[in-house]
């Protein structure tokens, strides 16, 4: 991933350039490897590069042969080799970048170009002869993107990977909606991603195909091992991250065995084979307070699957000290996101210091399979499915935002196999009856069962049973229960009852209901005082009528049973 920033039809573009460079520098943490910019007509595109694929020749913005089209991309396109070989074989490529095929896709399919991309991305493309800009974001919103407008320059449209690039110059900012494309010709944002499961009123009836679930997730992981640099996995020891780590360990071993290390064009070929990797064994990373549940479980998984494991601990004080920096990078005051992001933010710094630039992560599984414990109280299969679809649609406001910004704060890229388009199509069209939590079926039963090899004595298990069937822990709980307790205590000491009784008038109806939430909101306002900033924030909303506690910690769900794993 990288950082992008663009200003379209700015009335004083040459004079504005120095300011634009300053704005782009605010997201240099996303792309510490190189910076680039292109000015054409009254438009400027800026790029801060994190080199993962096409390391030697993938500097951006990328231009076509006659330099009439310029492209700035933040993301990874997993099917770029297939596009180059088949769909776009006649195009005269200038780089090995996985992102360059977006230009010939635009030339061939116009604003339908994003439909042909398999990956996570946010891009801005400028067509100089037409004085036209288009922008798009990946289907689920794994990659962040914001769009801004200004009353001072009403013809100008601004785009950036992070809010902080736009707040000084735009008085209207939105989080660019996932699965949409903007076209300056119409000045409209329209949806291009329309899978069959998007309409939550259409309840699927297809029985779960366990083999298809397993094979599709394995393929999703394989795609995301496209890299020319060292990579690893975030390993909490819970089901989701452990499955991803187990699959990645198998695929990494196979790829190194079967293929010489050749970084000329990393990716997946037409048969779905991983062409090359960084050439090293898989690293795994875990974080928590000392003796946290996640650390104990992660150690067991790492030993079992054979990763080079790195365990990092942090103190409560270190976590509290990082909060304001975390909010600066997250650009939110949502309690759930901040709680879970702080350990991830601290871990990402450690990972980058160890020379790793890309990690796989387990976001999305709980939304797809109804893994949050409150799903046990779903009144019907129909309501279960509707809630699952709603959670997937809103991932860009919560878990995807956390995974992207917590890691990119240190120039570390996080990839999320569970949000693969093909995997989503398979799993979001399963009869929700097969996903429901019952006395006989633990949460995410069909996912666990898909990787249960107990009926095949010749197969090596993906995970030990105690991990495969481990109950759900919220990430902010699993890093150590005293983490959340410590946050609440710190907020109690800093926020008075008088403050709670007298919220800021400008907050309107969006008033924090706890001292912890109030504390985070004050820090956000201090960092982003502009009125347009708070309008981009959405909070994780509990499903109260299903017994989901207002405090999103998993421990408050009635079905939660603390599970203590031995450290042996």
Binding residues for ATP, as ranges, are: 234, 287, 361-362
Phi, psi at residue 499, to the nearest 5°? -65, -45
SS3 (DSSP) at 146: strand
Tokens 């109030």 appear where?
Answer: 518
Name the nearest CA neighbour of 122 among 137, 140, 102. 137
Helical residues (DSSP H) of 451-534, grouped into ranges: 465-468, 475-478, 481-494, 497-501, 515-527, 531-534
Considering the candidates 2, 5, 99, 427, report the single residue annotated as catalytic. Answer: 2
**Binding site members for L-glutamine:** 98
DSSP string, 338-376: HHHHHHHHHHHHHHHHTT--EEE--TTHHHHHT-SGGGG
| Helix, strand, coil percentages in the chain from 3-state DSSP, rounded to 5 | 40, 15, 45
DSSP string, 204-252: --BPP-HHHHHHHHHHHHHHTT--SS-EEEE--SSHHHHHHHHHHHHHH
Strand partners, 233: 284, 360
Catalytic: 2? yes
Cα separation, 253 vs 259, whole angstroms = 10
Cα separation, 176 vs 60, whole angstroms = 22
Is residue 516 within 8 Å of residue 489, measured between CB atoms? no
CA distances to 154, 243, 397 from 348, in Å: 39, 20, 20
Cα separation, 549 vs 556, whole angstroms = 6
SS3 (DSSP) at 190: strand
Cα separation, 449 vs 63, whole angstroms = 48
DSSP string, 440-452: SS-TTHHHHHHT-
In eight-state DSSP terms, residue 39 is E
Cα separation, 294 vs 427, whole angstroms = 27
Name the nearest CA neighbour of 325 among 524, 537, 175. 524
**Binding site members:** 98, 234, 287, 361-362
Q: How many CB atoms lie within 10 A of CB 448?
A: 21
Name the nearest CA neighbour of 3 among 168, 107, 146. 146
Cα separation, 454 vs 441, whole angstroms = 17
Is residue 287 within 8 Å of residue 343, measured between CB atoms? yes
Cα separation, 94 vs 492, whole angstroms = 57
Strand order across the 3-8 sheet? 34-40, 43-49, 3-8, 157-160, 146-149, 172-175
Is residue 91 within 8 Å of residue 131, measured between CB atoms? no
DSSP string, 386-441: HHHHHHHHTGGGTHHHHHHHHHHTTT-EEE-GGG-HHHHHHHTTB-GGGT---SSS
* Crossing angle for the helix pair 399-408 and 335-353, to the nearest 10 degrees: 30
Give catalytic residues, as residue numbers. Answer: 2
């Amino acid at each position: 991933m990288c950082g992008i920033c663009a200003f379209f039809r700015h009335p004083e573009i040459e004079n504005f350039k120095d300011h634009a460079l300053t704005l782009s520098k605010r997201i240099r943490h996303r792309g510490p490897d190189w910076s680039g910019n292109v000015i054409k007509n009254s438009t400027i595109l800026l790029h801060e590069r994190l080199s993962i694929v096409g390391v030697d020749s993938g500097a951006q913005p990328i231009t076509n042969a006659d330099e009439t089209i310029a492209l700035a991309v933040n993301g990874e396109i997993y099917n770029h080799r297939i596009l180059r070989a088949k769909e776009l074989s006649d195009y005269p490529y200038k780089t090995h970048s996985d992102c360059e095929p977006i230009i010939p896709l635009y030339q061939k399919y116009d604003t339908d170009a994003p439909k042909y991309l398999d990956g996570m991305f946010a891009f801005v493309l400028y067509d100089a002869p037409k004085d036209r800009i288009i922008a798009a974001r990946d289907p689920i919103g794994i990659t962040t993107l914001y769009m801004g407008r200004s009353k001072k320059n009403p013809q100008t449209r601004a785009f950036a990977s992070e809010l902080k690039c736009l707040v000084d110059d735009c008085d209207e900012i939105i989080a660019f909606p996932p699965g949409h494309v903007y076209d300056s010709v119409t000045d409209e944002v329209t949806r291009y991603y329309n899978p069959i499961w998007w309409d939550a009123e259409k309840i699927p009836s297809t029985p779960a195909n366990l083999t298809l679930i397993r094979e599709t997730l394995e393929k999703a992981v394989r795609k995301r091992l496209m890299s020319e640099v060292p990579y690893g996995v975030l390993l909490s020891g819970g089901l989701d991250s452990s499955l991803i780590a187990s699959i990645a360990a198998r695929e990494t071993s196979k790829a190194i065995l079967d293929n010489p290390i050749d970084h000329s064009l990393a990716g997946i070929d037409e048969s779905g084979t991983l062409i090359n990797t960084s050439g090293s064994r898989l690293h795994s990373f875990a974080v928590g307070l000392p003796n946290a549940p996640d650390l104990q479980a992660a150690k067991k998984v790492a030993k079992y699957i054979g990763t080079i494991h790195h365990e990092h601990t942090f103190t409560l004080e270190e976590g509290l000290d990082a909060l304001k920096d975390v909010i600066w990078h997250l650009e939110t005051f949502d309690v759930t996101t901040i709680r879970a992001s702080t350990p991830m933010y601290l871990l990402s710094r450690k990972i980058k210091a160890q020379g790793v630039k890309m990690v796989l992560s387990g976001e999305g599984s709980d939304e797809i399979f109804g893994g949050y414990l409150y799903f046990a109280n779903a009144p019907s299969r129909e309501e279960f499915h509707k809630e699952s679809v709603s959670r997937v649609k809103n991932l860009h406001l919560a878990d995807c935002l956390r995974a992207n910004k917590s890691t990119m704060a240190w120039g570390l890229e996080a990839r999320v196999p569970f949000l693969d388009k093909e995997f989503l199509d398979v799993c979001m069209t399963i009869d929700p009856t097969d996903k429901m939590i019952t006395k006989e079926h633990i949460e995410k039963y069909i996912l666990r069962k898909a990787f249960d090899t107990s009926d095949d004595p010749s197969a090596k298990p993906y995970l030990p049973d105690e991990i495969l069937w481990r109950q759900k822990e919220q990430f902010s709980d699993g890093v150590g229960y005293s983490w959340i307790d410590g946050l609440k205590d710190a907020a109690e000491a800093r926020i008075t009852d008088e403050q709670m009784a007298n919220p800021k008038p400008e907050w309107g109806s969006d008033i924090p209901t706890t001292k912890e939430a109030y504390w985070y909101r004050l820090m956000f306002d201090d960092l982003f005082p502009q009125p347009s900033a708070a309008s981009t924030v959405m909070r994780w909303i509990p499903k109260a009528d299903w017994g989901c506690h207002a405090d999103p910690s998993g421990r408050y769900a009635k079905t939660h049973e603390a599970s203590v794993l031995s450290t042996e």
